[in-house]
Amino acid sequence: MTAVSPARAIVLWCPDWPVFAAAREAGLDPEAPLALTEGGAVHSCSAAARRDGVVRGLRLREAQYRSPAITVLPYDPVLDVRAFEPVVRQVEQTVPGVQIVRPGTLAMRARGPARYYGGEDAAAQALLETVERLGVAGARVGIADGPFAAEQAARAVRSSPVGIVAPGGSAAFLAPLPVGLVVDERTRTLLNRLGVRTLGEFAALPHGDVRRRFGAAGAFGHDRAAGREATGVAARTPPPEFEITAEFEPPLDRIDQLAFAFRVRAEEFIDRMRAARLVCTAIRVELDDERGGHSARSWLHPRWFTPADVVDRVRWQLQGAGLADTGLASPITKLRVIPERVDGTANHEAGLWGQGPDERVHHALTRVQSMLGHEGVVTAAVGGGRMLADRQVLVPWGDRAPERREAPWPGSLPALAPASVFRERHPVALLDAAGAPVAIDERGAISAPPVRFAVGSGASAQVRAWAGPWPVVERWWDAERARRVHRFQIVDHDGCAWLLVRDDEGWWAEARYD
């Protein structure tokens, strides 16, 4: 058997992994036209979607125009990592010393596997069989003098799932590939203007000149282009196993019975992490029922999970809006709890004198929530929207607040926001000097300056100052749900400012500047 160089690397590449992970999670066929979107653009897509002309970076509407049958899902990087972890663990059983390049791509040293399996090709076949047993089809393996060249070899194969570059042949193999693989977009544009478009042409440049002109990043890319990879495979240390699984035989069909049966395992779950000096701030609960159904949900905690908190999350996921002693539609056969986010206990130590009021508030809210259910205690957060009432978001205690979209909301109210926002709008009478209601025409002009106004059935008051109107147009593209209103600001005789809204039904008080 031929000796294998210590620098040789094996790369296992699973094409379109984000699409595969999302399709498996949603129960869809990964061979169908699928696209994952991020920020209104295509992040990744399936092979069927690419055949229809969908590519990365394409706007969503254009992608749907090119592929009318496409299914669109949001891109979730956390799902990529979570779905890839079982693959990593299984591969580590076949070839130890694995480095995760990214979800869907693994690198490992070739010397040990080649010796054990009797050659590089045999080691590659063993890896492919491992991932095929997990249901991951279409995986590719590349072997070359370094992880970068090995990954390009895996991506370049067509007729066979294994691409092997002969020892010392990495530079020649990489030569025709585009220079953008090793440099950023700005450097690629500059090199193209200089007539350097391939890795071979880039590698032909003097190394000293490249370092002086493009710095350390350019020199790093130059080494890769020349087949000189200074960094080899950095094998990861497998993380300790904290997840727990409970199987019930016979299956349990009552929520209180399942919560009681799982309590001991929940204590084992937390004690195992405490022994490693860790706390868990996010978990994932997965449930399998007797009919083949599967339920999975991620839960957050405002501080860290205790055994009782874990049991509560399991109960809430099963309970929904029902009661703890209600029966289930289908008995539960398997329960699995996976820690999604852990942290060192040193980062969560209490202060010298404790946490004071914050700790008491936390315990009180957690206690009330455990009695009333997950949505029994909520906290306020600010969301996106044009109308102030739409921006009020109530989040269950412990859950992450919705991400605030900084994208522009045409017609939204600029800062500073009013202090009092009315969830139920109050009717307002806004009158001119003749006592007639103030109207707004199609061009957004008022019929007459406002002189007096009244909120509900209260007495009218004098208007000291006013400003507006400002149009707010929502869903103009949807004939059934389109809405057009006008905002108006007034100051009453007491100096209190009001934010009014005019729609087809009349004037309303949206908020007050206290």
For the chain, give every domain's residue range.
Answer: 244-349, 420-513
State both tokens at 492.
């009453």
Q: What's the CA gap between 455 and 96, in Å, rounded? A: 74
The answer, yes or no, to whether residue 21 has pLDDT greater than 80, is yes
Share of the chain above pLDDT 70, in %: 85
- Of 235, 290, 288, nearest to 113 by C-alpha is 235
The answer, yes or no, to whether residue 388 has pLDDT greater than 90, is no
Q: What are the pLDDT digits (tens) for 231-240? A: 778 877 666 7
What's the pLDDT score for residue 427?
86
What's the pLDDT score for residue 47?
92
Q: What are the pLDDT digits (tens) for 111-153? A: 889 999 999 999 999 999 999 998 888 899 999 998 999 999 9
Would you place residue 360 in the very low, low, confident or very high pLDDT band (cuts 50, 70, 90)? low
Q: What's the CA gap between 203 and 221, in Å, rounded? A: 9
Tell me the mean pLDDT in the region 260-275: 89
State both tokens at 482.
């389109």
The answer to whether 106 and 98 have CB atoms below 8 angstroms apart is yes
Share of the chain above pLDDT 90, in %: 29
Tell me the mean pLDDT in the region 184-194: 91
Name 254's bridge partners: 327
Tell me the mean pLDDT in the region 409-434: 76
Q: What's the CA gap between 160 and 168, in Å, rounded? A: 22
Would you place residue 507 in the very low, low, confident or very high pLDDT band (cuts 50, 70, 90)? confident
DSSP result, 342-368: EEEGGGG---TT--THHHHHHHHHHHH
Q: What's the CA gap between 276 and 345, in Å, rounded? A: 9
What's the pLDDT score for residue 321?
46
Single-letter residue type at 266: A
Lay out the sheet containing 327-344: strands in order across: 244-254, 327-344, 278-289, 294-300
Q: What's the CA gap between 394 and 377, in Å, rounded? A: 9
pTM for the whole thing? 0.57
DSSP 208: H
The mean of the pLDDT values for the chain is 83
The answer, yes or no, to whether residue 514 has pLDDT greater than 80, is no
What's the pLDDT score for residue 479?
76
Q: What are the pLDDT digits (tens) for 447-492? A: 888 888 888 777 778 888 888 788 888 777 777 777 788 888 888 8
Least confident of 15-19, 182-186, 250-254: 250-254
Q: What are the pLDDT digits (tens) for 39-96? A: 889 999 999 999 999 999 999 999 999 999 999 999 998 889 889 989 998 998 888 8
The answer to whether 390 and 383 have CB atoms below 8 angstroms apart is yes
State both tokens at 487.
């905002």
- Of 222, 326, 343, nearest to 281 by C-alpha is 343
Q: What are the pLDDT digits (tens) for 297-312? A: 888 887 788 898 898 8
What's the pLDDT score for residue 358?
58
The answer, yes or no, to whether residue 195 has pLDDT greater than 60, is yes
Q: What's the CA gap between 340 and 313, in Å, rounded? A: 14
Domain 244-349 has CATH 3.30.1490.100: yes
The answer, yes or no, to whether residue 399 has pLDDT greater than 90, is no
The answer to whether 107 and 244 have CB atoms below 8 angstroms apart is no
Between 122 and 430, the more confident residue is: 122
The answer to whether 45 and 55 have CB atoms below 8 angstroms apart is yes
State both tokens at 164.
């092997």
